[in-house]
Structure 1
């Protein structure tokens, strides 16, 4: 069976309508009429043999078929636009979009980014930070650096480095910590993972925090460390990432005990083919990332 020819205008009309969930707004963006967009989408649905939108009281909603088609078109149109930009600018440069969890960006990536730019001047690296809750398809990432166990649906993951957690606090608090159980006297700072402090305390045979224990929860270890620097409490954080604060003694690691609940991973969607720029970045990143950092107490 011969596959029907699908005009680019039909795909473009669907992509714009899907982003806006509105034929009217899509028409405004594309400088055509509402009827033209509606007709293009209807024609596309007929050729594909499926419905891409359903009408609801507040406008449009994507069907499962529409949801699966949108990220593919987003990626394709972005790549076309990037390529044309290079032609028009008279440049032979590749763009690389990398989403990176903020703690890794501050602790390990940004201090070395000049080295990447020096060795790969033809690659335009575009970084965006996130708090580990991210949608690589929607944001158009080539790579996404995440913290976890390496298992994300539809994703290829390469291990970068581990990130064991240890208590970190300001010197004034550290002087009051003679024994690990003394952490119960202070507010415990943690991420959204509920059992971090329980794991750390149990690893040294101490009882977990009681329900009455003061706790502050953060969606970013960067803001958690800022709270620790203000003396708000004791943070359970990766010393590898915040070693610069330990070296200047702005923070102290009062106890050697640590727990490993995950690591940093370089990930890409399985649907994203590796470009030369992506291969250059992964090779560079995995060659310098330390597997251990001196975080002596």
Structure 2
């Protein structure tokens, strides 16, 4: 049986009570009476069918269900607050909210975001990544940076940059790899969500591997750290992984022979004509910067 979405006010009261572990302090913070706080918490618990607090004579303590629920409620309330400020705040045209896949945010955008701020210092930027466990669709974003094959991600989209793939490892391991076949002497660190992984490279090298030794992760930056620790060989995804590769002291194997990846990063949004002014400024800046990046990136 589906549970109806609880009242936003119930969630606001729950968050205040959980944060302070006191119905009385929550009532003071929210300018309510303590019985009203207790009543709304009880209504929320009845709606969910689970107790969120253990009541004691002079205090309340979150149950296991309450502990699990609190961070999700806090993030949801913060999302509503951010969206409200962005859309209806005192100066809404100077807010831009961006959601980006982690590798692009960490490896390309975050290190250079100061260039945008320096040029448009009156624009407040919020950059979110896939670190959040909640579905990103629950959050308001002006723009979203995604990765995948060319397709319609939204009503409008722009191609930003592709990727060049090549194996990387610690220098002591890379020195032992003289031919593609030598790769099979080591563990190969595979980023499971990526479509263009080790088997894509095997096809390029015309390498037939019956029993490669894989170790899996779900993130390229983590793969780089694993390679830095000597676990094996990772796949660089230039230029997005350049910073992680450099900081990890990794070097290309096989002379850095790079392979064009089949997929691209895209900037997506609902409709270019309805972008808010700050989002339009960011889009123009990002497209110009990515154009320069493509020209500066060596290709094979």
TM-score, normalised on structure 2? 0.66
Question: Which residue does 2:60 correspond to in 1?
Answer: none
Matches within 5 A, 1:77-226: 78-82=82-86, 86=90, 94-130=94-130, 135-149=135-149, 151=151, 156-193=156-193, 196-208=197-209, 210=211, 213-226=212-225
Residues 1:214 and 1:155: Cα distance change in structure 2 (over 3 Å): farther
For the 8 Å contact 2:228–2:248, the answer to whether it is kept is no
Is the contact between residue 131 and residue 219 of structure 1 (CA under 8 Å) also seen in structure 2?
A: no
Separation of aligned partners in 1, 2:185 and 2:193: 21
Q: The residue matched to 1:236 in structure 2 has which SS?
A: strand
Give the structure 1 partner of residue 7 of structure 2.
14
Q: Match for residue 241 of structure 1?
A: 240
> Taking structure 1 as reference, are residues 123 and 108 closer, same or farther at Cα in structure 2, changes over 3 Å only?
same
Deviations 1:26-78 (A, max 9, x none): x9686558989x99xxxxxxxxxxxxx9765679xxxxxxxxxxxxx997764
Q: Answer yes or no: is the 8 Å Cα contact 1:143–1:267 preserved in 2.
A: yes
Residue 192 to residue 216, structure 1, CA distance change in 2 (3 Å)? same
The 1:103/1:80 distance shift into structure 2, 3 A limit, reads closer
Structure 1 residues 282, 20: CA separation in 2 closer, same or farther (over 3 Å shift)? farther
Secondary structure of the structure 2 residue equivalent to 1:157: strand
Equivalenced residues, count: 255
Instruction: Tell me the residue number matched to 1:256.
Output: 257
The alignment status of 1:284 with 2:293, answered yes or no, reads: no
Which string of whole-angstrom CA distances, capped at 9 and with x for unpartnered residues, describes residues 158-216 of structure 1?
21111132211122111111111111111101211376211210122111452xx3222
- Residue 209 to residue 228, structure 1, CA distance change in 2 (3 Å): farther
Instruction: Compute the displacement of 1:286 (Å).
Output: 0.6
SS at match of 2:252: coil
> What secondary structure does 1:141 align onto?
coil
Distance, in Å, in 2 between the alignment partners of 1:272 and 1:215 is 47
Contact 1:198-1:209 at 8 Å conserved across structures: no
**Would you say the 8 A contact 1:186–1:233 is kept in 2?**
yes
1: CA distance between counterparts of 2:198 and 2:13? 43
Contiguous gaps of at least 5 residues in structure 1: 1-12, 40-52, 60-72
Whole-Å separation in 1 of the counterparts to 2:78 and 2:246 = 43
* Partners of 1:165 and 1:258 within 8 A in 2: yes
Q: Distance in 2 between matches of 1:189 and 1:279?
A: 39
Q: Which is worse superposed, 240-249 or 114-123?
A: 240-249
How far apart are 1:156 and its partner, in Å? Answer: 4.1
Whole-angstrom CA distance in 2 between matches of 1:119 and 1:79: 24
Alpha carbons 1:169, 1:235 under 8 Å: kept: yes
CA shift for structure 1 position 219? 1.8
SS of equivalent to 1:103:
helix
Asked if 1 retains the 8 angstrom alpha-carbon contact of 2:153 and 2:268, the reply is: no
1:262 & 1:209 partners in 2: Cα distance? Answer: 26
Residue pair 1:170, 1:231 contacting (<8 A) in 2 also = yes
1:120 deviation in Å? 0.9
**Residues 240 and 292, structure 1, Cα contact 8 Å, conserved in 2:** no
Q: Secondary structure at the match of 1:291?
A: helix
Alpha-carbon distance, 1:124 to partner? 0.8
TM normalised by structure 1 equals 0.67
